[in-house]
Each structure stands twice: as structure tokens, then as C-alpha cells.
Amino acid sequence: MEIISGVERRRQWRVEDKLRIVAEAERPGACFADVARRHEVSRSVLWGWRKQVRSGALAVEQMPAFMPVQIAPEPPSNTSASPCSLSPEATAGRDAQRIEIVLPDGTAVRVLETVGTTALRRVLSALRG
């Protein structure tokens, strides 16, 4: 039982806590109302946090870091079987500039330059996790 004496004030949630609670609510099979009740937060507030996360407005601030960059020539186009082949829809935009990010473990992410920052941020955060 919690006894509040005096004027009740709004809780100040840390960004990490908000992200953790939203992630819990997003898990497959999770009941949104149960998650809100368990953390003693209004469902409408939780929906607002969820919307902020999806729009990229609510994210952990990370210090920028410099990464080594290596410019490599475009590989020859070889349509033979490769472990990562592109669909016809993806090859249609070959004239557009592409961005390739190679992580230290060898994982490579190739996207068109027109990719949205929110989508790219989600992909990279999924690879880190």
C-alpha cells in the first residue's frame, strides 16, 4: 500500500525505463493493459511512449563515435548464385547510390541512399541486440 501525503506530483520517467516498458509491451503475446498496470502507468501514456519510439523521438542518446571508413570499388555485377541475392524489385533501383555498412563481425547492410533514418536506426539496433 502506498500512502501519499501532500500534493501528488507527476512521475519523471527515465528514457531507459520508458524504452524498457515499451519493449515489454511490444513482445509477442504481451497484453498492453497488463504491462501498463504492472508498471503503474496509464495506458494512454504508454501509447504515447510507443508512438514516440516508433517515430524516433524517444531514443537513448548515444555519443557520436568515429568509425573507420573504407571506400571500395563497386563489385562486378555477377548474377550467379550468391548467398545474398537481390529481388528484381531491389535491382530496379541500381542507378541510385547505395550505402554499405560492414560491422566488425562481418555483417553487411546495404541500403539505397533514400532509406529513412528511422528505418536504418531500427535495423542497426536489431543487429546490435
Determine, yes or no, domain membership for 74.
no
Q: Which amino acid is present at 117?
A: T
Looking at the structure of the chain, the number of domains it has is 2
Per the domain annotation, does 77 fall within a domain?
no
- What is the pTM (predicted TM-score) of this model? 0.43
Distance CA 53, CA 58 (A): 5
111 within 8 A of 99, measured Cβ to Cβ: yes
Asked if 60 and 17 touch (Cβ cutoff 8 Å), the reply is no
The CA distance from 87 to 101, in Å, is: 20
Burial 85-119 (b: 16+ CB within 10 A, else e): eeeeeeeeeeeeeeeeeeeeeeeeeeeeeeeeeee
Residue 96: give the domain boundaries: 88-128
48-86 pLDDT, tens digit per residue, is 999 999 888 888 766 667 777 777 777 666 554 444 444
Q: Tell me, yes or no, whether 97 lies in a domain.
A: yes
Across the chain, what does the average pLDDT equal? 77
Question: At residue 66, what are phi and psi to the nearest 5 degrees?
Answer: -85, 135
| Residue 94 in domain | yes
The pLDDT, as a whole number, for residue 37 is 94
Residue 92 lies in a domain: yes
pLDDT digits (tens, 9 = 90+) for 26-53: 998 999 999 999 999 999 999 999 999 9
